[in-house]
């Protein structure tokens, strides 16, 4: 049970401190396959809090008596600071949508334009999408269906036009269902977003700039005269949550009030109305999403215009011997 080899009641502060020091030295591999890094100071603080909670529960149930041994422990002040979080800007979001295949494309659009968490996207069912809104009520955690993260999370999210169009096309592609998961696996269950990331998203993004083949085995097996070099024109993956942060950042840049952004993201400190399971979004939330929709309209129109200009400039003159160039 513990480092002392004795009972729970024998655990002292020094034992818990030893645990924290040992955990702080552990090297963990990053989720994106990067180098191993030590746990951050914030992670250690959360671990300390969990241990403290365990002793509180043990005391409540009568398995432990006395002062909580976690009380006077300390997290190493020299532990690494938490890594900076990432938020996709609108240009990156459109870049993802230009290269990701389905159903990853639509799933990412839900994260970027509605701000749903990864588990909430995974848990979505078609009946949750009605009246122009996604009604969040549950989430998936480690393969298990659970309630949403908090009461504030159980709220409708307005769906802007570009997301609505993608969802309807996705529905038609799935056979026009009215029930069941919006994103389903081959067995008809909820599609695991981690599997989608590993099997679809990352291979689509990590392409070689020279030959267009995937990083790793697919590239090594080919007879090439070059090493793999990632195509820098494709956006880098920083997780589904970076799309949620991106929505908040993009709304903030558009001048949407802080409290409205909090309402759209359904944080716990939103207004009382949203915290009590309202069935319709407030006017402020609708207005905020309308501003995002207008911004996306302008960005797409500008990209299309720039693309037309490039096509025109690359067209050969009738009297020239040059062959015209085409852009795929």
What confidence tens digit (pLDDT) does each residue in 105-120 have? 999 999 999 999 999 9
What is the pTM (predicted TM-score) of this model? 0.70
Spell out the residues 6+ positions from residue 318 whose beta carbon is closer than 8 angstroms to its own.
none
Instruction: Give residue 324's pLDDT.
Output: 42
Q: Given pLDDT bands bounded at 50, 70 and 90, which one contains residue 37? A: low
Report all structural domains of the chain as residue ranges with CATH numbers, in order of start: 1-83 (no CATH), 90-303 (1.10.443.10)
Question: Is residue 18 over pLDDT 70?
Answer: yes
Question: Is residue 24 over pLDDT 60?
Answer: yes
Burial of 320 (0-12, 13-18, 19+ CB in 10 A): exposed
Residue 96: its H or E element: helix 90-99
Instruction: Give residue 252's pLDDT.
Output: 78
SS3 call for 184: strand
**Do 176 and 126 form a contact (C-beta atoms < 8 A)?**
no
Question: Is residue 271 over pLDDT 90?
Answer: no
Q: With CA atoms as reference, report the closest residue to 22 among 79, 82, 64, 68.
A: 79
Question: Is residue 219 over pLDDT 70?
Answer: yes
Question: Is residue 82 over pLDDT 70?
Answer: no
- Region of 139 (left: φ > 0; alpha: ψ -120 to 50; beta: rest) is beta
For the chain, where are the E strands, in sequence order? 27-29, 36-38, 129-130, 133-135, 138-141, 144-147, 156-158
Percent of the chain with pLDDT over 90: 43
């Amino acid at each position: 049970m513990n480092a002392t080899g004795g009972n729970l009641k024998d655990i002292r502060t020094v034992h818990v401190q030893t645990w924290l020091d040992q955990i702080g030295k552990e090297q963990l591999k990053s989720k994106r396959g990067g180098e191993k890094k030590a746990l951050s100071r914030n992670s250690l603080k959360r671990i300390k809090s969990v241990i403290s909670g365990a002793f509180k529960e043990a005391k409540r149930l009568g398995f432990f008596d006395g002062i909580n041994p976690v009380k006077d422990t300390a997290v190493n002040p020299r532990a690494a600071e938490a890594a900076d979080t990432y938020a996709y800007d609108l240009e990156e979001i459109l870049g993802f949508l230009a290269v990701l295949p389905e159903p990853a494309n639509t799933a990412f659009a839900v994260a970027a334009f509605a701000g749903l968490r990864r588990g909430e996207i995974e848990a979505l069912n078609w009946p949750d999408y009605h009246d122009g809104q996604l009604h969040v009520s549950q989430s998936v955690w480690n393969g298990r269906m659970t309630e949403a993260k908090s009461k504030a999370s159980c709220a409708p999210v307005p769906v802007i036009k570009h997301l609505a169009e993608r969802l309807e096309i996705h529905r038609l592609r799935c056979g026009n269902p009215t029930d069941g998961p919006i994103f389903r696996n081959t067995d008809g269950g909820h599609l695991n977003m981690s599997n989608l990331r590993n099997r679809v998203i990352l291979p689509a993004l990590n392409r070689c700039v020279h030959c267009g083949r995937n990083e790793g085995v697919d590239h090594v097996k080919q007879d090439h005269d070059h090493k793999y070099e990632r195509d820098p024109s494709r956006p880098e993956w920083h997780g589904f949550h970076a799309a949620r942060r991106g929505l908040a950042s993009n709304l903030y840049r558009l001048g949407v009030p802080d409290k409205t952004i909090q309402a759209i993201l359904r944080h716990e400190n939103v207004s009382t109305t949203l915290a009590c399971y309202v069935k319709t979004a407030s006017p402020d939330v609708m207005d905020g999403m309308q501003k995002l929709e207008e911004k996306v309209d302008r960005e797409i129109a500008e990209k299309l215009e720039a693309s037309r200009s490039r096509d025109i400039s690359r067209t050969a003159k009738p009297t020239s011997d040059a062959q015209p160039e085409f852009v795929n």
